[in-house]
């Protein structure tokens, strides 16, 4: 099955989870991260691998939480 990605990003002056090209707004980054982990966990229980990816202040992304097979570190 495909991996479900939940991105925690700044959006319209607040924080949001971006999943499947939809945004779900939260007041704080912590609230968005907690909701994303919960959603990813539920997705994992349904048989998907899932990841929560958080945008950092420098604009880069960091994997915050993984359910199922973790692709990192990649095989070398």
19-23, 33-37, 47-51: range with lowest mean pLDDT: 47-51
Is residue 22 in some structural domain?
yes
pLDDT category, 27, cuts 50, 70, 90? very high
Please give the residue range of the domain that contains residue 7. 1-37
Task: Specify the 3-state DSSP secondary structure of 39.
Answer: helix
Is residue 42 in some structural domain?
no
* Model confidence, pTM: 0.82
Cα dist from 25 to 32, 39, 45, 47, 74, whole Å? 8, 14, 24, 26, 32
Is residue 43 in some structural domain?
no
Is residue 73 in some structural domain?
no
User: How many distinct structural domains can be found in the chain?
Assistant: 1
Is residue 30 in some structural domain?
yes
Is residue 6 in some structural domain?
yes
Is residue 31 in some structural domain?
yes
Q: Which token pair is 50?
A: 């899932």
Is residue 66 in some structural domain?
no
């Amino acid at each position: 099955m495909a991996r479900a990605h939940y991105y925690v990003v700044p959006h319209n002056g607040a924080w949001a989870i971006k999943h499947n090209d939809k945004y779900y707004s939260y007041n704080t980054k912590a609230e968005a991260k907690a909701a994303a982990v919960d959603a990813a966990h539920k997705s994992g229980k349904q048989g998907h691998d899932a990841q929560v990816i958080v945008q950092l202040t420098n604009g880069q992304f960091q994997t915050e939480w993984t359910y199922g097979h973790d692709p990192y570190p990649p095989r070398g």
